[in-house]
Amino acid sequence: MTAVLSEVLDEAAVRRALGTVVDPELDEPITDLGFVRSVTVHGGAVEVHLRLPTSFCAPNFAWLMVSDAREAVAALPGVARLVVELDDHSDSELINRGLAADAGYRGTFGHEAEESLDELRTTFQRKAHTAAMERAITALLRADRALSEDAVHDLVLGDLPAGAPTTEALLRRRSVLGLPVDAAAAVLVHDDGTRPGRAESAMRLRRARSVRISMDGNAHFCRGLLQTRYPGSDADQVPRAEDRSLLPLLVPSKGPTS
């Protein structure tokens, strides 16, 4: 009989599972950001502690991150007992108690849970797609100086370099939102997947660029805050992926120079 191999439940496996969880606002894995404080595994018992750059990060953001982390680890084979806790947050006690009791967001925060987390999650997924769209377009403009921003309106996914980090990131985010990923689909689109009019395209790209710059700046700022709050935590942070350059992905002007 052929043995069926399964992943061993150890710290590495738990961290891989946590690597699938992204900060909802920054759109980066919590493992890359250094938000995983510790992981301990003893047999089937797993304990995970998470941390954030400040004690006053929005409770709804914190809940999304912690509950997603718990769900990701709970799906691993062999987990018999699981504790996932958020440390040093103003609502740590409330969040940890609600998570342990499977009370859900509304059951944990009661009347304070005014926002729908599904709507909030969709908002962040749309922002992540917008930023990925701008990165892919700008990377193409930088690689092909003969291509002008006026031509962006006509770009389709098949025009993007296959396998490039910016292309793959965009396709992943489109899939999450249920947007088309076939080669003939327009690259520059609104949140609902419709292509802007030719006259609107420049403004849509400009707004997408502002979203991307804001997200990149926030991520850089949060990494720095975490290092300040937890000295040595920079060792737990992973350099940003190739599609997330810290330098502004601006396209040099093709206009006349003085």
pLDDT tens sequence across 150-161: 899 999 999 999
**Are both 123 and 36 inside the same structural domain?**
no
Residue 198 makes CB contacts below 8 A (sequence gap 6+) with 153
133 and 102 in a common domain = no
Mark which of 77, 112, 147 sits at the end of a domain.
112
Tell me whether residue 241 is in a domain: no
Together in a domain, 213 and 123: yes
Spatial contact of 188 and 205, defined as CB atoms under 8 Å apart? yes
Distance of alpha carbon 193 from alpha carbon 179, whole angstroms: 6
**Residues 108 and 16 placed together within one structural domain of the fold:** yes
Higher pLDDT, 118 or 94: 94
Structural domain tally of the chain? 2
160 CB burial (10 A radius; 0-12, 13-18, 19+): buried
| Residue 53 structural domain | 11-112
Q: Is residue 133 part of a domain?
A: yes
Q: Is the pLDDT of residue 68 over 80?
A: yes
The CATH number of whichever domain residue 104 belongs to comes to 3.30.300.130
Q: Give the CA count within 13 Å in the CB-facing half-sphere of 79.
A: 19
Binned at pLDDT 50, 70 and 90, residue 256 comes out as very low
Evaluate whether residue 239 is within a structural domain. Answer: no
Same domain, 71 and 133: no
Indicate the pTM of the whole model: 0.85
pLDDT digits (tens, 9 = 90+) for 190-222: 999 999 999 999 999 999 999 999 999 999 999
Q: Does a structural domain hold residue 6? A: no
Same domain (yes/no): 38, 104: yes
Q: Is residue 238 part of a domain?
A: no
